[in-house]
Structure 1
């Protein structure tokens, strides 16, 4: 099938402007012309003997076609318009009557051979489309062929009674081809601008970045067009464009699919939470989940479009995060405390190896060793030494950006059980405010060879103290966590970390 497609641009200025300014250029059908191609019969076709003089039916068809062609192109207003085309010459179409008659013969034979097959409908309609395409653009003679073959199907096609319904289905096909339809706006430039507007409305937040990168500036033809239909007779796949409203419905559904995957209730699963915190977050998360489901499922096609969906989703998400913030702030502080204790342990471990450095250290020197490190571990906290708190100056005080104490610690040399007991009293009674909740005693052993014994006695001393409440956990063998009653209010509980380092000088 060879076609020589020609263009006669009726408005060259507009055509050039469209090429320069639009993603897609639409060429009016009236500016395209070709003479079609020679169609061929199917492989089972046998031409009647002495065709077309074989019967009155074929002779009458040819006679009517010749009469029509004698008046062509003055036969109708549509064909009269051809006289204004520079390319039009009637002699180019002198064989049209014979071509129409042959096409009717080919097609009627094909229908008779195909009507009882399983895939009969697509085969027959594809073959008819192939025959019509063969008449070129504009389809001179194609409309004559179509009306003759439709009449034949309606009045002359012989088929068994049990498949009579197939005749009606074919007639519906002919009707669908000839009915005047309301033209749908399937302009690709409109579809492209609609799609790019959707990309622009996607929020500029990290969870959407990959989506914006994937689609920005792209031409998703799979969204602009319906699935293609392949015609084995023409060898072509044809695509029908969607309207703007159809594209928006696709975008709405795609938006909902994306948003279903971008929920926030899984954030808490990676955090180290207490059962109470998990319960609080789960309650809020379920409320958020219900809001998302109502938002993304319960609306009609024409009620909400993608911009409204995105706005409502963001509002719902913002409310969810707002409700979670107090819990996350609390969790963040707890995580910082765990990180702080871990860093103190790592810094102290390094110091244990530097005997030439710590051999001459006193309590203040040990404090001064830790402070520069502690000031660097968080931009949201400030670490200071010898800072006044309550009734005296504590060795290490860490506060958040609101000047609220988050950690109070004393550095002490190991000088036996009674000295440690006094250090506990000093820390809790002199330096710990009513609102303080996390404190620490950092003990440095310099004079005792048996460090294990030091650890044992220190643990005994802690648990014998009158404010001791309970043991919590032990980490790295030298970080032991306890719960203590507050000296001013026994209903309040503070967390005390006992942290021991072995700086024994041999």
Structure 2
């Protein structure tokens, strides 16, 4: 448990919009005092009279006394603590006991784990936990108190107490300790408020009011793209860590996401899927969005990444309007040709956009709403490409073709690298549910494999069948 004191009475806790889970505090405003470390369920391997067992260990209590006798006049940074009204030597009363305890536990853990297969993870996680147990002084007041005493002792023991056969492992542990001491790989200082401000500006600029972009808005409003990489969990501290993204990387992410969305979701893509309807209304929406951008920039001297975004949107608006203007008369002409579809097409085209009213021809016992509800997640969840797996129009076409047996072309699912099994899992989950509730027999796996392969491009039945299984929690 961290022992934290807020030293600035005017300190402000920040949080991301209405999110109560993500909060942060400036490192000028708090101090973390040292705390005990706990090593559970480890067999004791050190000598019973530790640290009186040898000269090397006996020197540790002497080094602690020597260090604290000079503190806080030991260095320039710590000397500033003399005038800090929140600091008192009373806080260090149990520090000697803490250093000895943590050093003993560290030596014992290294001895017990060094021959195990996952020795490196155990030892480095413990050392990280131990380092953090020495606390943190506010910015400008120096390194954690007495941390150097602990690290120097552990380095000495590693260098002097192990046979040569362990030297490669010892070198790796020492390198890990040195990376902490030298701050190699330390994250750059970032302003979280500035990052969130940039992201919110992007949300304001993006033309969500255009109908075929609107469905993406909720996803991007509800995410926090200021964290980078995978979470790292420490089994000893119980804390997970993840890096905060840099401002430069956030700007790159926003530009790449914008470009990808605009390339994937546009009038041309809708036309290719056979889902481009009411082009005049779409032109009206784009013209309004373009004017909104002009008004946003009015009287502004914009020199940051927004300048590039506005330029990118301006190009996209222009291209969309030109394409819609050129294709509208062609669409009108095609709609007039009776041979373009078989009898019943006009009825189908109308009903296609009323999918809830369709009769489920695929599984007659199942209400069509079950299929709509199950697969709707494909329109609201972005793939690794940052665009949804299916547009609203493509989703409706899929439901109409697969369940309403309408004469509509196959659709294409937008997915990124490594997401094929995720999509297969969604169809396998649908099969599992249907076979239990609505199918007369549970022996209908091929039917549900074909639900994917027969209605979407680029899905091989053999591959889908081989991987057709539910992955719990994949879509949560």
Shift of 1:184: 2.1
Q: Deviations over 1:468-491 (max 9, x none)?
A: xxxxxxxxxxxxxxxxxxxxxxxx
Of 227, 247, 252 in structure 2, the residue corresponding to residue 249 of structure 1 is 252
Of 146, 151, 172 in structure 1, the residue corresponding to residue 151 of structure 2 is 146
Instruction: Tell me, yes or no, if the aligned pair for 1:223 and 1:247 is still in contact at 8 Å.
Output: yes
Specify the alignment match of 2:210 in structure 1.
205
Instruction: Tell me, yes or no, if the aligned pair for 2:81 and 2:87 is still in contact at 8 Å.
Output: yes
Distance 1:305 1:164 in 2: 54
Shift of 1:186: 2.4
Specify the alignment match of 2:3 in structure 1.
4
Instruction: Tell me, yes or no, if the aligned pair for 1:35 and 1:137 is still in contact at 8 Å.
Output: yes
Shift of 1:315: 4.0
Specify the alignment match of 2:171 in structure 1.
168
Instruction: Tell me, yes or no, if the aligned pair for 2:13 and 2:25 is still in contact at 8 Å.
Output: no
Shift of 1:82: 1.8
Distance 1:45 1:169, change over 3 A: same
Q: Deviations over 1:90-149 (max 9, x none)?
A: 133133234323322321221232223232222111111221232233332223212322
Distance 1:265 1:230 in 2: 42
Instruction: Tell me, yes or no, if the aligned pair for 2:125 and 2:236 is still in contact at 8 Å.
Output: yes
Distance 1:190 1:123 in 2: 36
Distance 1:100 1:262, change over 3 A: same
Distance 1:269 1:86, change over 3 A: closer
Specify the alignment match of 2:77 in structure 1.
78
Distance 2:173 2:315 in 1: 49
Instruction: Tell me, yes or no, if the aligned pair for 1:188 and 1:224 is still in contact at 8 Å.
Output: no
| Counterpart check, 1:184 vs 2:182 | no
Distance 1:134 1:257 in 2: 44
Distance 1:78 1:221, change over 3 A: same
Specify the alignment match of 1:32 in structure 2.
30
Instruction: Tell me, yes or no, if the aligned pair for 2:67 and 2:146 is still in contact at 8 Å.
Output: no
Distance 1:269 1:66, change over 3 A: closer
Distance 1:211 1:37, change over 3 A: same
Distance 1:156 1:305 in 2: 59
Specify the alignment match of 1:158 in structure 2.
162
Distance 2:214 2:327 in 1: 24
Distance 1:135 1:188, change over 3 A: same
- 1:122 partner SS: helix
Q: Deviations over 1:144-184 (max 9, x none)?
A: 2123223433x2252564x6433333233222212256862
Instruction: Tell me, yes or no, if the aligned pair for 1:202 and 1:208 is still in contact at 8 Å.
Output: no
Instruction: Tell me, yes or no, if the aligned pair for 2:129 and 2:237 is still in contact at 8 Å.
Output: yes
Instruction: Tell me, yes or no, if the aligned pair for 1:248 and 1:305 is still in contact at 8 Å.
Output: no
Shift of 1:69: 0.9
Specify the alignment match of 1:193 in structure 2.
197
Of 223, 227, 230 in structure 2, the residue corresponding to residue 224 of structure 1 is 227
Shift of 1:332: 4.8
| Higher fraction of strand | 1
TM-score, structure 2 as length reference:
0.54
Of 242, 258, 261 in structure 1, the residue corresponding to residue 261 of structure 2 is 258
Shift of 1:7: 0.6
Distance 2:50 2:176 in 1: 29
Specify the alignment match of 1:110 in structure 2.
109
Distance 1:322 1:157 in 2: 80
Distance 1:232 1:54, change over 3 A: same
Instruction: Tell me, yes or no, if the aligned pair for 1:112 and 1:157 is still in contact at 8 Å.
Output: no
Distance 1:38 1:17 in 2: 27
- 1:39 partner SS: coil
- 1:221 partner SS: coil
Shift of 1:49: 2.7
Distance 1:246 1:151 in 2: 40
| Counterpart check, 1:239 vs 2:261 | no
Shift of 1:265: 4.2
Q: Deviations over 1:310-364 (max 9, x none)?
A: 44444444443344244234335557x99xxx99xxxxxxxxxxxxxxxxxxxxx
Distance 1:268 1:82, change over 3 A: closer
Specify the alignment match of 2:126 in structure 1.
127
Instruction: Tell me, yes or no, if the aligned pair for 1:97 and 1:141 is still in contact at 8 Å.
Output: no
- 2:33 partner SS: coil
Task: Report how many aligned residue pairs link the two structures.
Answer: 301
Instruction: Tell me, yes or no, if the aligned pair for 1:73 and 1:79 is still in contact at 8 Å.
Output: yes
Distance 1:195 1:83 in 2: 42
Instruction: Tell me, yes or no, if the aligned pair for 2:12 and 2:25 is still in contact at 8 Å.
Output: no
RMSD over aligned CA atoms reads 3.8
Structure 1 spans left out of the alignment, 5+ residues: 273-301, 344-506
Distance 1:256 1:140, change over 3 A: same
- 1:228 partner SS: strand
- Greater RCO, 1 or 2 (C-alpha within 8 Å, sep 6+): 2
Structure 2 spans left out of the alignment, 5+ residues: 138-143, 277-304, 347-476
Q: Please tell me whether Structure 1 or Structure 2 has the larger radius of gyration of its CA atoms.
A: 1
Distance 1:97 1:268 in 2: 73
